[in-house]
Amino acid sequence: MLKRTLVANRGEIACRILRACREAGIEGVAIHAANDSGTLFTELADIAIQLTGEGLAETYLNQNQILEIAIENGCDSIHPGFGFLSERADFAQAVMDAGLIWVGPSPEAITKMGDKMTARITMKKAGVPVIPGEEVDGGIEEVLAVAPSVGYPLLLKATAGGGGKGMRAVHKEEDLESEAKAAMREALNAFGDDRVYVERLLTGSRHIEIQVLADKYGRTIHLGERECSVQRRHQKVFEESPSVALDAELREAMGEAACAAARAVDYEGAGTVEFLVTPTGDFFFLEMNTRIQVEHPVTEMVTGVDLVREQLRIAGGERMSCGDLNMRGHAIEVRLYAEDPANNFLPAIGQLKRFVAPTGPGVRLDTGVREGDAVTPDYDPMLAKLIVWAPSRNEALQRMGRALDEFVVLGCTTNIRFLRELCDNPDVVDGWTTTDMIERLWPDGWSPEMSGLIADAGLLIATACESTNHGKVRISTGGDMSIASPFSMINRRFP
């Protein structure tokens, strides 16, 4: 059993972890930079320690300082959250070498899945389908040499990449060299590693990920899928579970592939295996995130499993608490960003003069900000995650629309109105979302003037979802989706 956990993160995810620690009877230690003093996550902690230094490199990415604070304050474990040091195998190893518990998978698993080419090779050996492409050991000359065999359009991807950095789509041969140099330059700046490899660009595909859990006793399970296709610049903005694109057979096939991927690297803890699903129903391994995901709440809402609590339980040497699971109802998450959709979604800054979150049945808000907080360019522009649950997808869309209508944020430009537009967008309502949707519909950004909203948006949702549920797309979750209540599902434990 863990006794005192240091949270090596900030903001929303630090709040999420600290609350899980409190419920589990674990003392939570927060670390914070000077400009995070007095913020919500520091007040939720049992102990809050200010980091010395300025900038990320000297604070939240300073491994030695974080380890020293953990040891000096009697911590027995470190939870990295997502981002920052969460997928740094060297930090995980340093934590373990210091005699502390790393709340996450082994450094070896992080290394194998963090290097995208190594991950591809490992998945091939495990029998998990990968996107057609070529691993590249050399520099740009080899990239230019293998590209013709992959074919166009193709995607250049940084081997050490993540978050869309070091990625370039190439649609014709004459653009290959310049795009390859740009991808390698960006990869070097972001990751200190300029290696890129080549994959076929699967246009019109869906981005669907499978949540897995694995404990130290040889048990590996999946908890269904999350549909994450609505993205801008490879960053997700709208996620849901289950996906309208999966029936029970495809769900089980992808779930077993995800479990096979986890077993191939002796995975322990919570992880996510991401896939691309083509219009024909073929699926291909994309990557594995060896940490908790930003969008994990939608899985929690439809399964009743507290994934962060399970991370703590597994890291402490216990068995996972959940048994066979059924997905119930439908959950949707949108990411509230401080950004200007009309200015091609560029980040915005300001002070949150008003921040009034929606409430009501089936509504959850994960955030690390409060009214009066300053939004600065120092950190990621995500302000909050708004999550809703309802018995059906139709009702979930309606509930999300209502919640966004109630959400008041003044003092900083946000994407709230754009998110509201998504709830009524015909492609979203019909469930025909793809990874290129935002780029296709709003290539230069979105503004209210180009809104496609109609007066009776509720009628549009009801009509389209009726067509979706009874026509070309079916949702199969292995149970009656109309009978579950969020009040009976949240934090529910399955025997």
- From residue 71, how far is each of 77, 106, 267 by CA, in Å? 9, 20, 26
CB 266 within 8 A of CB 112: no
Given the residues 168, 232, 291, 313, the one annotated as active site? 291
Q: How are the residues of the chain apportioned to helix, strand and coil, as percentages rounded to the nearest 5?
A: 35, 25, 40
The CA distance from 421 to 248, in Å, is: 30
**354 given a catalytic annotation:** no
The CA distance from 110 to 204, in Å, is: 30
End-to-end CA distance of the chain: 21
Look up residue 294 and give its two tokens.
Answer: 């930003």
The CA distance from 283 to 326, in Å, is: 22
The CA distance from 392 to 480, in Å, is: 10
Q: Is the dihedral of CA 449, 452, 457, 459 positive or negative?
A: positive
Q: Is the dihedral of CA 472, 476, 482, 486 positive or negative?
A: negative
CA 208 to chain centre: 11
The per-residue b/e assignment along 409-427, b for 16 or more CB within 10 angstroms, e otherwise, is bebbbbbbebbbbbbbbeb
CB 465 within 8 A of CB 393: yes
- From residue 459, how far is each of 310, 424, 456, 485 by CA, in Å? 40, 10, 5, 24
The CA distance from 68 to 73, in Å, is: 8
Q: Which residues are catalytic?
A: 291
